[in-house]
Structure 1
Amino acid sequence: MPVVFRVDDCRFHFFANEGDPREPVHIHVARSGADAKFWLYPDVELAYNRGFDARRIKRLRDIVEARRDEIEDAWNDFFA
């Protein structure tokens, strides 16, 4: 499970086996007791949320939007 970065108590990562065929670029966010998934394109969109409150989801979405290029670069480097 490649970790792209950490912010506060959250780990931003993707899984080494992201489906067959591979799903489009996305990022998982996890912390103890909660996880979420965001699609990166065409817009950053919440795929699912298990345990984060609305305020945290907004903050996580803002982080993903701000660091979208970094996430996509890590994805492409890993799966190249």
Structure 2
Amino acid sequence: MPVILRFKGYKFFFYSNEGYPLEPIHIHVRNSGNEAKFWLVPMVQLARNDGFSARELKELSYVIEENKVLLEEAWNDYFC
């Protein structure tokens, strides 16, 4: 489970076995037992939420958008 980014206690990561066939580029976010999944392409979009508030999701979406290039590069370096 490579952690790509940390922000205010949130871990931004992907699982090393993201399924076969490989899923589209996305990032998971975890903090205090809550977890969400965001698609990165074609645009940042919430795929699943388990416990985060609307305010947290808005902040997480912003952080992902600001770091989208870094997250996509990390995904491609790992899986491609």
Q: TM-score range by the shorter chain?
A: over 0.9
Residue 61 in 1 paired to residue 52 in 2? Answer: no
Q: Quote how far apart the aligned CAs of 1:6 are.
A: 0.3
2:23 aligned counterpart, secondary structure? coil
- Residue 74 of structure 1 is matched in structure 2 by 74
- Structure 1's consecutive aligned runs of 4 or more residues displaced over 3 angstroms after TM superposition are none
Report percent identity of matched pairs: 51
Q: Quote how far apart the aligned CAs of 1:9 are.
A: 1.1
**Superposition pairs of residues 1-20 of structure 1, within 5 angstroms:** 1-20=1-20
Gaps of 5+ in 2: none
Aligned residue pairs: how many?
80
